[in-house]
């Protein structure tokens, strides 16, 4: 258990020291290279990723590409699943509103 916690702390430290980031709405989201956009958003406590056609808020749910609830607009491309898209520095991600 000790080694596990140490490893996680190390991962956490890398997260703190990373310079890689993308933007979501008006926030800067830091990530560790290799993480998905969705994982980085969740780690930054951003959980509302899109608004459904009826206006209700939705966010990453299945995390494995099945449900499409986390689809965002990434670099002007709509319907990109945040859980499947690899985070890249400088990406512009925004909350998708209904059918875009």
Partner 1 sequence: MTTPTIAVVGAGPAGLAASIAAVDAGCAVVLVDECSLPGGQIYRQADPELNVPAVGTAQETERKHALLRRFAAVRDRIDYRPNTTAHSLFAGPELQIADEQDSERLNPDAVIVATGVSERCVPFPGWTLPGVLYAGGAQALLKAHGVTPGKRVAIAGVGVLPLAVGAQLSRAGAHVVVVALFHPLRRMVKDPMGLWAGRRVVLEGLQYTRWLRSAGVPILEGWAPVRVEGASTAKAIVLAPVDRDGHHLVERSRRFEVDAIGLNFGFTANSELVRMAGGKVFYDSTIGGWLPCRDRLGKTSLDRIYVAGDGAGLRGAFVAEAEGYMVGTAVAGELTGRSPTAMHRLEKVRSTNERFQKALRKTLELPPGVWDWANSDTTVCRCECVTRGRIDEAKSEGHCSLDALKRNTRVGMGWCGGRTCLQAAAAYIHGGGSASTLQPMRARPVARPVKLGALANPRRDQ
* Binding-site member from 22, 24, 29, 58 for partner 1 (CB under 8 A): 58
Does 28 engage in binding with partner 1 (CB under 8 A)? no
Please give the distance of CA 3 from its chain centroid, rounded to a whole number. Answer: 27
DSSP 53-98: TTS-EE---SSSSSS-TTEEEETTEEEEETTTSBP-TT-EEE-EES
Pick 59 or 73: Cβ nearer partner 1: 59
Rounded distance, CA 69 to CA 79, Å?
10
- By CB under 8 A, the count of residues binding partner 1 is 42
Closer Cβ to partner 1, 32 or 73, answer by number: 32
Which residue from 69, 82, 91, 94 is in contact with partner 1, where contact means CB under 8 A?
Answer: 69
């Amino acid at each position: 258990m000790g080694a596990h916690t140490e490893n996680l702390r190390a991962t956490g430290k890398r997260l703190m020291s990373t310079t890689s980031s993308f933007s979501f709405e008006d926030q800067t989201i830091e990530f560790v290279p290799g993480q998905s956009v969705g994982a980085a958003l969740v780690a930054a406590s951003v959980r509302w990723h899109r608004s459904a056609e009826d206006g209700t808020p939705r966010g990453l749910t299945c995390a494995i590409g099945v449900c499409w609830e986390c689809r965002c607009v990434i670099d002007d491309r709509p319907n990109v699943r945040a859980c499947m898209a690899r985070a890249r520095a400088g990406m512009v991600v925004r909350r998708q509103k209904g059918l875009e």
